[in-house]
């Protein structure tokens, strides 16, 4: 969750705020240290000393982590306490242990960052001192031990995938509760620890020590895939680690690697596929795609084809497997054999896409059109989104032919259907429809959108009004659905010409919203819109709303507190 530092109180539950403020006022927050530009670390005294790390960019806290066990919400009291520390001057707060005041004439010495302090100590410490420190840390600190072993793996005679599996299992065990489950908060810490391993793997790649990197990546993929079964990965930290490890292996496979490493990876691909280690995940078919980058011998080619024949459990697996086989045929048998296979499996969307691109490149427009239209007919019923892609290809073919009539036909269809793609269909229409006919053309388009009666139509019509700068019509459209989110979304377009009208819409929306909403989150949301009214220059209207809410809901203590902050 990203939090504007100057508005952090609006993003944190009241009990957590109060406890964080108490911690700050009692002087439990040590002055934050800048580890490197924009990244800070602070110790907060609690039942134990906890470490809070946060990243600050342009006044926004983009990351915040505390190593305390709190897992009932995104922000703990220790993080809140650090926020209060950082904002104490703005909030005019005091704490028991006050900072030394500096006279205006005296310039404070700039504190060294952690990185600068580390550089200085490394220059001064001798070799034996560093060795002793590392020995002690590897004995006492498992995360440090794991990082040390993986960073210098090339010097470890006992290095193997099993060595890293053991390390990862230790990380997962530490993060698990007594039932063996890893909650979302602990998953984040696991993600950080595993990322350290992957950073080490990347260093090994940079040093051309591919064998160690493969050991680390395959160990991460296996153990973290298994961990997905007993963890809350709503943050995506665990699954993201598997993705990162796979992408690293894929990058290695594209390098000029030693034969030993090539065999190491391709054998792992075949073994993991046979054992179905990644069954049910994209990585299952992904290992075949990895193997397809590395095969050399006929035996390896035949083995990949056999594995491909097994990969038919779902439409996705079937299509991906066929695409891999096409690439291998193109590489081993040549254009004709690959072309024949493509034609035999043209219902595969990946292969149809490839065929259209080939025909278009050769300027064989009739074939490209036939393939795209056949795709529309084949996918329209069960995969309407895919059918729209084939319409997009028909548009691209028409553009290549400079066929104005067809360009307008397909661009109009895709715009009205609100298909999201690389091309700006509205701009294409404006380019090809004659200027003198444009306004009438747009009015018919708006009418056609309206008759479809879909939930997305308001936004699509609004986009036309914005592009044409028809602000009066945009305002009338907003008035038809005057919920606060809609007003907020279009305020930036309307406030210049219709500030008073937007203020009135906000006022009505806030009062309606408060009739059906209770709880601090809702009160904070209402106050956010009151502040928008103030920014629009209507402080009197804001005061009027505040006065009404105080009178109407006097027993809502949390609301009164939020109104006090406006």
Contacts of the segment 103-111: beta carbons below 8 A, 24+ positions apart:
111/33, 111/34
Q: Are 233 and 176 in contact (CB under 8 A)?
A: no
Nearest to 76 by CA among 67, 89, 88: 67
- Alpha-carbon distance 191 to 237, whole Å? 5
* Alpha carbon separation from 250 to 77, 171, 337, 405, 515 (Å, rounded): 42, 25, 26, 45, 55
Q: Are 551 and 544 in contact (CB under 8 A)?
A: no
CB neighbourhood size of 158 (10 A): 7
* Residue 547 counted as domain residue: yes
Residues 6 or more apart in contact with residue 484 via CB below 8 angstroms? 506, 509, 510, 513, 525, 529
Q: How, if at all, do strands 49-57 and 3-4 pair? A: unpaired
* Residue 379 counted as domain residue: no
CB neighbourhood size of 350 (10 A): 15
Last residue of a domain, one of 94, 117, 140: 94
pLDDT at residue number 386: 92
* Residue 397 counted as domain residue: no
DSSP assigned state of 13: -
pLDDT at residue number 121: 83
* Residue 145 counted as domain residue: no
pLDDT at residue number 510: 94
pLDDT at residue number 123: 85
Residues 6 or more apart in contact with residue 64 via CB below 8 angstroms? 3, 52, 53, 54, 55, 75, 79
Last residue of a domain, one of 94, 123, 144: 94
Domain count along the chain: 2
Q: For residue range 50-66, what is the model confidence (pLDDT) as tens digits?
A: 999 999 888 899 888 88
* Residue 144 counted as domain residue: no
List of the chain residues with pLDDT < 70: 1, 71-72, 94-115, 143, 146-147, 149-151, 153-157, 312, 455-456
Q: How, if at all, do strands 60-66 and 3-4 pair? A: antiparallel
Residue whose entry in the numeric block shows the structure tokens 């909403």: 517
Find how far residue 39's CA is from the centre of its chain: 20
pLDDT at residue number 154: 57
Reduced to 3 states, what is the DSSP secondary structure of residue 40?
strand
Burial category of 534 from C-beta neighbours within 10 Å (exposed 0-12, middle 13-18, buried 19 and up): middle
Nearest to 216 by CA among 232, 205, 227, 230: 205
pLDDT at residue number 82: 94
Radius of gyration, alpha carbons of the chain: 31
* Residue 430 counted as domain residue: no
The residue segments making up the domain with residue 67 are: 3-94
- Alpha-carbon distance 270 to 290, whole Å? 10
Phi, psi of 240 (to 5 degrees): -65, -35
Last residue of a domain, one of 94, 127, 160: 94
Burial category of 173 from C-beta neighbours within 10 Å (exposed 0-12, middle 13-18, buried 19 and up): exposed
Residues 6 or more apart in contact with residue 142 via CB below 8 angstroms? 170, 171, 174
Q: Are 107 and 101 in contact (CB under 8 A)?
A: no
Phi, psi of 53 (to 5 degrees): -120, 135
- Alpha-carbon distance 374 to 386, whole Å? 12
Q: For residue range 288-343, what is the model confidence (pLDDT) as tens digits?
A: 999 999 999 889 998 988 888 877 678 888 899 999 999 999 999 999 999 999 99
DSSP assigned state of 29: B
Q: H-helix or E-strand containing 214?
A: helix 210-227
* Residue 496 counted as domain residue: yes
- Alpha-carbon distance 371 to 390, whole Å? 9
Q: H-helix or E-strand containing 206?
A: helix 184-206
In this structure, what token pair is assigned to residue 167? 């390390």
Task: Give the angle subtended at the CA of 333 by the CAs of 331 and 337, to the nearest 5°.
Answer: 110
* Residue 86 counted as domain residue: yes
pLDDT at residue number 340: 94
């Amino acid at each position: 969750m990203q939090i504007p530092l100057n508005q952090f109180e609006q993003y944190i539950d009241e009990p957590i705020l109060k406890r964080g403020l108490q911690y700050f006022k009692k002087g439990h927050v040590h002055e934050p240290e800048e580890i490197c530009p924009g990244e800070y670390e602070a110790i907060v005294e609690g039942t134990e000393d906890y470490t809070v790390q946060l990243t600050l960019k342009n006044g926004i806290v983009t990351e915040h982590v505390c190593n305390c066990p709190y897992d009932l919400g995104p922000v703990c009291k220790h993080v809140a306490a650090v926020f209060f520390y950082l904002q104490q001057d703005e909030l005019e707060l005091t704490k028991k242990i006050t900072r030394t005041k500096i006279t205006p004439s005296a310039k404070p010495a700039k504190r060294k960052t952690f990185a600068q302090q580390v550089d200085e100590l490394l220059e001064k410490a001798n070799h034996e001192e560093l060795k002793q420190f590392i020995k002690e840390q590897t004995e006492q600190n498992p995360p440090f031990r794991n990082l040390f072993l993986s960073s210098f793996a090339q010097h470890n005679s006992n290095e193997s995938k099993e060595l890293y599996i053991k390390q990862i299992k230790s990380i997962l065990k530490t993060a698990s509760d007594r039932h063996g489950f890893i909650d979302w908060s602990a998953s984040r810490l696991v993600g950080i620890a595993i990322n350290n391993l992957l950073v080490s793997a990347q260093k090994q790649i940079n040093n051309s020590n591919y064998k160690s990197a493969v050991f680390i990546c395959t160990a991460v993929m296996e153990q973290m895939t298994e961990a997905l079964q007993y963890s809350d990965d709503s943050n995506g930290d665990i699954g993201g680690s598997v993705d990162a490890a796979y992408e690293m292996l894929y990058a290695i496979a594209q390098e000029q690697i030693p034969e030993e490493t090539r065999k190491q990876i391709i054998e792992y691909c075949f073994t993991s596929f046979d054992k179905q280690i990644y069954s049910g995940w994209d990585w299952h078919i992904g290992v075949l795609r990895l193997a397809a980058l590395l095969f050399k011998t006929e035996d390896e080619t035949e083995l990949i084809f056999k594995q491909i024949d097994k990969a038919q459990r779902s439409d996705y697996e079937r299509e991906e497997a066929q695409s891999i086989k096409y690439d291998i045929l193109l590489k081993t048998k040549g254009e004709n054999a690959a072309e024949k296979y493509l034609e035999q499996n043209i219902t595969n969307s990946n292969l149809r896409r490839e065929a259209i691109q080939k025909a278009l490149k050769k300027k064989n427009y009739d074939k490209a059109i036939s393939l795209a239209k056949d795709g529309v007919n084949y996918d329209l019923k069960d995969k309407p989104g895919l059918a729209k892609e084939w319409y997009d290809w028909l548009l691209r073919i028409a553009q290549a032919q400079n066929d104005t009539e067809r360009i307008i036909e397909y661009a109009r269809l895709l715009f009205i259907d609100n298909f999201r793609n690389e091309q700006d269909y509205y701009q294409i229409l404006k380019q090809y429809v004659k200027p003198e006919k444009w306004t009438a053309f747009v009015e018919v388009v708006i009418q056609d959108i309206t008759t479809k009666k879909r939930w997305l139509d308001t936004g699509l019509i609004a986009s036309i009004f914005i592009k044409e700068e028809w602000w009066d019509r945009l305002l009338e459209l907003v008035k038809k659905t005057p919920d606060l989110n809609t007003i907020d979304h279009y305020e930036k377009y309307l406030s210049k010409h219709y500030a008073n009208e937007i203020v009135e819409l906000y006022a009505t929306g806030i009062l309606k919203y408060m009739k059906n909403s209770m709880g601090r989150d809702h009160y904070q949301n209402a106050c956010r819109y009151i502040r928008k009214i103030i920014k629009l220059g209507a402080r009197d209207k804001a005061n009027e709303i505040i006065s009404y809410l105080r009178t109407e809901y006097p027993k809502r203590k949390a609301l009164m507190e939020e109104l006090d902050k406006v």
